[in-house]
Structure 1
Amino acid sequence: MVETPEPAAPANGEGLLAFLRARPRLRALVLGGAVVLLAAVAFGWWYYGGRESTDDAQVDGHIVAVSSRVGGTVMAVKVEDNQRVAVGTVLVEVDPRDYRIALQRAEADLADARAALAGAQAGVPITSTTTASQVSAAGAGVVRAQAGSQASGREVEAARARLNLTQARLREARANAERLNRDRDRQDLRLFKERTYATAVALITAMGFGLYASLVLMPVLLQTLMRYPALQAGFVMAPRGLGSLVVMPFVGIAIEKTDPRRIIGLGFLVNAVTMYWLGMLNLNAGFWDFFWPQFIQGAGLGLLFVPLTTVAMDRIRPEAMGAATSLFNLLRNIGGSVGIATVQTLLARYRQTHGNVMVGHVDAYSPASQILFNNLRSSFMAAGADVTTATQRAYAALYGMVQQQAAMLSFIDGFKLLAVVFLLLVPFVALMRKPQHHGRNR
């Protein structure tokens, strides 16, 4: 067996070329790699040679706004984006019609100004003549003003004299008025020496207390607890006025035939009964449960106003009648104001008191409370609530029921208090004297 030794690769360049010629595939591979490398270098030089890449580059530039002196519609744009332009290059073509209109307007304004200048120049001589005549007239006016000033000075002196006289008379009138007021005040206080008048004033004050207090209680009860709208609450309050309207004509006839004190006592008694009647109602009351007490109470008020006024003014002298009626009405209004304030305060206190008492009876040891609580919770659970939510709603509903009942009890106490007030007024009617002018002797 003969072995052929591998030829050794030459160390110089000619040997490398001979080596590549002996191997065509290797030569093609080397040439292809060289071409790719040269192409990559050329592409990199072309791509990165004309630009810079950085993360914090900044570019300085100037933005200049270009606009036309006369606004108009752009017809054509003569340049493109980023195009270099020289001085005088037409950038935008604007519709010339707007410019022509602006030019015509400017020419018209110029002609108008020239005409105004010519008119002003022509009016200079006329103005000079007019000014001279005005100066003469002004001089004459100054003379007249000086004469008028002198006359006004004399009138001022006369007015001062009249003012001094008027002030003296005013001081005298004030002194007389103060003296008359002191006499009138003493006279007003002397009116209470008459027993009948003083008793009547006290009764009308107490009646105003009860009347206005009931007028406050009833609408609040109807609209808060009974859930009546304002219109329906007004309908429920209307029977009171209807009762007074029906009774008033008969009261005028009865005063002529009987002692007015009996009518007054009957009126207070009727009001006491109706107030107690209202104090017996509950949350289940309907329209007619409020109608009849209101109607009868209105009739009772009709039995009070005219007879009480008649008895109060019977023994008053004619010259003191004005002061007597003023005091009579004033104290009635004061009594009403006191009644409103008192009943509002007592209503809040009664509600808190009853609420505290009733809450003490609603606990885990009360069978009735537990039954009601379980029923409420079951109803909420049946409506779709979970156990926790149903329990919370049941507690809230139970507390709301307690507060509602406490509020109703406070209104009941208020009505019963007014019933006691009207009932206590009945004996005081006997303190008034029998009228001197009534019946057939009138």
Structure 2
Amino acid sequence: MQVCDMLARSIALAAAVAVTATAAAPASSPRPDPRILAMVRAVSASHLRAIDERLVGFRTRNDFSEIHSTKTQGVFAARDWLVAQLKKIAATSGGRMTVRLDTYVQPKLSFTPRAVTESSVIATLRGSEPGRVYVMSSHYDDCNGDCTDGLGVAPGADDNASGTSAVLEAARVMAATHFRGTIIFACFDGEELGLWGSAHFAREMAARHVPILADLNNDIVGNSKTHDGRSVFHTLRIFSEALPAGAKPRLVNLLGTENDSPSRELARFIVSTDRLYLPTLHIQEIFRADRFLRGGDQESFQAEGYPAIRFTEASEVFEHQHQNVRVEHGVQYGDLPQYIDPNYLAQSTRANVAALATLALGPAAPTHVHIVLAHLGYTTTLRWRRAADATAYEVLWRKTDAATWQHLRPVGDVTTVTLPISYDDYVFAVRSVDANGLRSVGVFPSPVRK
């Protein structure tokens, strides 16, 4: 009886601690940050159309056109134009943006005719705080019906001049802003034949221990209609992997982390953030690393342990992807600029800008986030370390079978909290809040005994 009384008092005390922590930080609804809102509104559909059409104008951006490239045609002509555009943008950054090439020779493979030079374009906007790097990526290479055809026409308006246009436009509207985090704007070469450019870059970053906290990859983001002509203007898809590199199935099953990889937490953050700035846009979360049995450059980052997601339009039209330009049985084939909706592409770009700016302007996420399992009980104790620029923290939780966060509790400027909720039945995360009300990505807690 005495033990029961002691246990009851312990539970009551834990609940009181939780209530006290909550009372110290009253809830406040997130509001759009005027700095971010200005960048979102600065995105121009006409600029995006002009960039997309200019990239199509290079006739082909096929990897194997590199030895045939002139000043006006071929993949390296497109590359040089991208470098020139980003250098113009860099001139508005007060010396904080630099532009370089990431070039190497990709050896011949069984399905390629020869070795080929790959050359990605990398623009880096330096932030004020070390330890925080964010990437917005695309690929600028393309292909027609034969991805090793360096001579044929390959417009590549949607796949992937659209994503490359989004990267350039985001760089333009963000370059003049001073961010806490560093932002890399990447236009990769060699995606179509095996994610070559992004894999080379991501490996290089991992070898140098560059702390990339997010990659927002854009691939096929410019068409607003289905194959049968219906409008899907208000929907954009976001893909995120279930299990990060190195995940151990037994531990995943014990902890129930199959839906809480860092990439998936990033996707949830993007969806909730973009709702503030683009309330009419529905970002549809797809719980896969990419489309069914297909891939993209975000996977190169995930392979190195970096969180990454992919943006893709709501409904791809396969008559316009990897097709030779032709009319067959009255159907137009080919990835042509007439199928790009510049207003939809602007919306896709704004989704990137809002999320990327929030990440780079906002507080760092808490570190060493743990769920403390000192003994069996009816409460959940969470503990973490303070994050740079954070003035308060919030705990998120949801039922184990729920896809998105269902509950939020502000807990103030503390580093531990006990909630009167059982960790058996819920999934938790902790996120930072700064003085401007910007939130970080939520961090899933790992278990510790004490």
TM-score (norm 2): 0.23
Which structure has greater strand proportion? 2
Structure index of larger Rg: 1
More helix by percentage: 1
TM-score, length of structure 1 as denominator length = 0.23
